[in-house]
Every structure is written in structure tokens, then in C-alpha cells.
Amino acid sequence: MISSTPYEPSNNLADQAAHSADNAIRSTQQAANHALDGLAVKVQDVRDRTAPLLNRASEQASALAHRGVDAVRHSSQQLRDKALRASDTTVRYIQDEPVKSMLIAAATGAALMALVNLMGRSRSSN
């Protein structure tokens, strides 16, 4: 008859090793869960602290954009007003001084033609 006593200590050692491994795995899982919980709390804390800052920055950017649009609108209106005044002034001058206006227009046209001819010659000589 074969005695089973020599195998019992090895079975006992294997059981103990398996139990120790299970304990180590559980301990590692608990440590990992604890670390992840701590990380989640820190991430939420950072999110809670940065949300008001991001909201404020967004509001400031929006206000700045609105001021920029208003400034462009105001400048555009001023430019339209100046162009209208210049047009009205030109029409009045032409009505008051038609001969002078024709002479100025002819001189301006001649000067522009001379400039165009001069630029055309300089390009063709290159």
C-alpha cells in the first residue's frame, strides 16, 4: 500500500501558495482601486476648480468679440458718412464750377494716361 503522506505536504504547500497569490491579487486590486478612486477625486477637483475659470474666459472672449464687431460697425458707418459728404461736396463743386471741374477732370485723366504709358514702357523694357 502506498502512503499518501508524502503528497500531502506538497498539496498543502501548493494550496498555501495559491492562497497567498489570491491574497496578493486581492491586495493589488484593492490598492489599484484605491489609487483610481483618489485619482478620480483629484480629476473632479481640478474640473470643479477650472470650470469657473473657463466660463469666465469664455465670457471675456465673447465680450471682446462683441466689442470688436461694434467697433467695426462704427468705423464702417463713419467711413460711409465721410464718403457721402465727399460725394455731396464734389457734386456741389461741379455745380458751382463746371468749367474748372471739366479742366480738373481732363488734367487728371491725362496724368493717369501718362502714368499708365510710363508703367507700360518700364515693364516692356525689362
Instruction: Encode pLDDT of 28-67 as tens digits.
Output: 999 998 989 899 999 898 888 888 988 999 999 999 999 9
Cell of 22: 489570491
Considering its fold, how many domains does the chain have in total?
Answer: 1
User: What is the 8-class DSSP label of residue 97?
Assistant: -
The residue range of the domain holding 102 is 14-125
Closest to 92 (Cα-Cα) out of 80, 101, 104? 101
Q: Tell me if 5 is assigned to some domain.
A: no
Does 1 map to a domain? no
Give domain status of residue 9, yes or no: no
- Say what the pTM is: 0.44
Report yes or no on 2 lying in a domain.
no
* Any domain includes 95: yes
